[in-house]
Amino acid sequence: PSGYSSQRDRAIARALGQEVIKWTIDSRDGFQDSTLNTVIKRVENNAQSGDIILMHVYGKHTITALETLLPYYIGQGYELVTVSDMLLEGKTAIDTDGIQHLVQE
């Protein structure tokens, strides 16, 4: 909840052969006081290539915001991909914050 994960959480995931993958931008679409405009602007003003944008199935403005944001980013040349598609290939390591990096050999 709220994007929280501890070193312990990440260690448990790694022991199970998994990694914790977190979002980088919270659209805050799930907050009752968020307006459609604030959700859209929060994403438009902060998103960059490689970001994972958190949106919720229960957000009051989620669908309408996506109807605006998806065509906007596609028009800007972004490609929408799954998290699996974002993972680096080759020899990599995950740092203590859960960020994947290529390993120099």
Which token pair is 41? 């602007």
pLDDT, residue 75, reads 94
Residues above pLDDT 70, as percent of the chain? 96
Q: What mean pLDDT is predicted for residues 21-27?
A: 88
Q: From CA 43, how far away is CA 59, in angstroms rounded?
A: 14
Task: Assign 3-class secondary structure to the chain.
Answer: CCCCCCHHHHHHHHHCCCCCCCCCEECCCCCCCCCHHHHHHHHHHHCCCCCCEECCCCCCCHHHHHHHHHHHHHHCCCCCCCHHHHCCCCCEEECCCCCEEECCC
Q: Is the pTM of this model over 0.85?
A: no
Kindly tell me if the per-residue pLDDT of 86 is higher than 80.
yes
What is the token pair recorded at 86?
A: 């974002």
